Amino acid sequence: MNKKITRRAMLKAAGAVTAFEIMKPSTALGTQANSKVKAGVVGLGGRGALIARHVKKNNGFEITAVADYFDDRVKEIGKELGVPEKSSFSGLSGYKKLIESGVEAIYLETPPCFFPEHARVAVDAGCHVYVAKPVACDVPGTMSMKASGEKATKNKQVFLIDFQTRTDPVIAEGVEKVQAGMIGKIGMIDSIYADGGFRDPPKGKTIEGRLQHLIWTNDIELGGGMLVNSGVHMVDLGLWMNGDKLPLSAMGVANVVKANPNGDTAYIYSLTYEFESGVVMNHRGDHLKNRVGYATCFANCQQGYFESGYGGMNRIIGNKTGWRGADVGGIYISGIERNIATFHKSICEEKYDNPTLIPSINSNLATILGREAGRRKTKLTMDEVIKENRRLDVDLTGLKS
């Protein structure tokens, strides 16, 4: 259990618009690897600002516009990035103005409740899309993101979802070895994600105060709740180990435990997923300020196990064989850098297969299924949750447009 992690620590340490057309990136850029792509960043909070700084460091992009709900944040980060005030947009509709400014690629880093609409508009406008995870908070939003990604592929646009674990060559090698049967068939997967959670102050008259400082992670309709927002990292890794198959069902319990919560998420999860092959995946989530912090995933196979996770040692221990692997510390930053580089390369080399789409949709659905099973303290099937198609509405009353 050496995968020590808190998202707050990582951030601290890391320091409907279709009535216009823009030139398709494939036309504008050709296949020159050194082509500058005009990029816009929507959402300039801790992670959004971090992403923007790494985009600026990448010689393949030129940040020409930024947007955030909060005007002071736009001015501060826009100035830091060298973006003129006329191209720095605030309010709920700032993302539309950013797209209208003529960007060729867009980075979406807002609370995930906004991703489905932002991605849909961006794809319709001809933009390449780079989006954080989770991709949505509910089933309708997840399916909307799937449709946008598939449309991007059809229209020859890049659509990349930013999971860091899947970019790491060490983790990828370990997953490949397990899937090739190095230590026999998988019987059970154990995934654990524990962090300290985030601030959860009392709610105001509007949700404005919940849209910053990761406070939105406490609200299911804004951020999906702790399992969908944070636990998705290790659930995604577990699904990857198991060939990216959707679970048939989930059962378990979720509890709040936290004293005086203002959001509606649970902070403790104990879930069991069942797959058609008979593989079982157990997920445990702990999002309390209790000094517990790690993110790890084990594939327990017939003749050994694969230990992996978000940082720390990755290795295979077997009865007759093994794999030394390596420590993947620093994956938070290295994963961002690799994904931004891959995004640019895919644009310039016209690679529109968008391989991150379906795995990310699957892990999003799996965490929504787990959240609902835990909240209801019952067993639910994936078919039942998809058929329910329950929409989480966000109350935007009183917010500036």
CATH code, domain with 122: 3.40.50.720
User: Is residue 196 situated within a structural domain?
Assistant: yes
Quick one: 273 and 175 in the same domain?
yes
User: What's the chain's average pLDDT?
Assistant: 92
**Angle, in degrees to the nearest 10, between helices 139-154 and 115-124:** 20
- Tell me what pLDDT residue 280 has: 98
Q: Taking 80 as the threshold, does the pLDDT of residue 35 lie above it?
A: no
Which of 161, 184, 211 is a domain's end point?
161
Quick one: 186 and 319 in the same domain?
yes
Please compute the mean of the pLDDT values over residues 61-65 and round it to a whole number.
Answer: 98
Residue whose tokens read 């790491």:
168
Q: Taking 50 as the threshold, does the pLDDT of residue 24 lie above it?
A: no
User: Is residue 377 situated within a structural domain?
Assistant: yes
pLDDT band at 57 (very low <50, low <70, confident <90, very high): very high
| Closest to 311 (Cα-Cα) out of 6, 48, 11 | 6
Which of 161, 180, 208 is a domain's end point?
161
pLDDT band at 16 (very low <50, low <70, confident <90, very high): very low
Quick one: 190 and 250 in the same domain?
yes
pTM, to two decimals: 0.92
- Tell me what pLDDT residue 12 has: 45
**d(C-alpha 120, C-alpha 382), whole Å:** 25
Is the model more confident about 12 or about 187? 187
Which of 108, 132, 161 is a domain's end point?
161
* pLDDT-wise least confident of 29-33, 158-162, 259-263, 274-278: 29-33
Q: Taking 50 as the threshold, does the pLDDT of residue 22 lie above it?
A: no
Q: Taking 60 as the threshold, does the pLDDT of residue 367 lie above it?
A: yes
pLDDT band at 225 (very low <50, low <70, confident <90, very high): very high
Quick one: 172 and 153 in the same domain?
no
- Tell me what pLDDT residue 311 has: 87
Quick one: 238 and 302 in the same domain?
yes
Domain encompassing residue 183: 165-328+356-388
**140-171 confidence digits (pLDDT tens):** 999 999 999 999 999 999 999 999 999 999 99
- Tell me what pLDDT residue 161 has: 98
User: Is residue 395 situated within a structural domain?
Assistant: no
DSSP bridge pairs for 104: none
* pLDDT-wise least confident of 26-35, 57-66, 156-165, 228-237: 26-35
Which amino acid is located at 125 in the chain? A
pLDDT band at 388 (very low <50, low <70, confident <90, very high): very high
pLDDT band at 226 (very low <50, low <70, confident <90, very high): very high
User: Is residue 130 situated within a structural domain?
Assistant: yes
pLDDT band at 201 (very low <50, low <70, confident <90, very high): very high
Assess contact for 350 and 26: CB atoms under 8 A: yes
User: Is residue 344 situated within a structural domain?
Assistant: no
- Tell me what pLDDT residue 118 has: 98
Quick one: 173 and 185 in the same domain?
yes
Quick one: 187 and 134 in the same domain?
no
Q: Taking 80 as the threshold, does the pLDDT of residue 372 lie above it?
A: yes
User: Is residue 399 situated within a structural domain?
Assistant: no
Q: How many domains does the chain have?
A: 2
Assess contact for 221 and 141: CB atoms under 8 A: no
Radius of gyration, alpha carbons of the chain: 20
Quick one: 49 and 74 in the same domain?
yes
Residue 233: CATH number of its domain: 3.30.360.10
Q: Taking 60 as the threshold, does the pLDDT of residue 212 lie above it?
A: yes
Quick one: 248 and 134 in the same domain?
no
- Tell me what pLDDT residue 32 has: 45
Which amino acid is located at 81 in the chain? L
Total residues belonging to the chain: 401
Quick one: 131 and 174 in the same domain?
no
Quick one: 305 and 193 in the same domain?
yes
User: Is residue 396 situated within a structural domain?
Assistant: no
Is the model more confident about 285 or about 5? 285
CB neighbours of 19 closer than 8 A, spacing ≥ 6?
none
The DSSP secondary-structure symbol of 74 reads: H
- Tell me what pLDDT residue 102 has: 97
pLDDT band at 31 (very low <50, low <70, confident <90, very high): very low
CB neighbours of 146 closer than 8 A, spacing ≥ 6?
357, 358, 361
Percent of the chain with pLDDT over 70: 91
Q: Taking 50 as the threshold, does the pLDDT of residue 181 lie above it?
A: yes
- Tell me what pLDDT residue 17 has: 36
User: Is residue 179 situated within a structural domain?
Assistant: yes
Quick one: 60 and 130 in the same domain?
yes
Strand order in the sheet with 88-90: 88-90, 61-68, 37-42, 105-108, 128-131, 159-161
- Tell me what pLDDT residue 13 has: 46
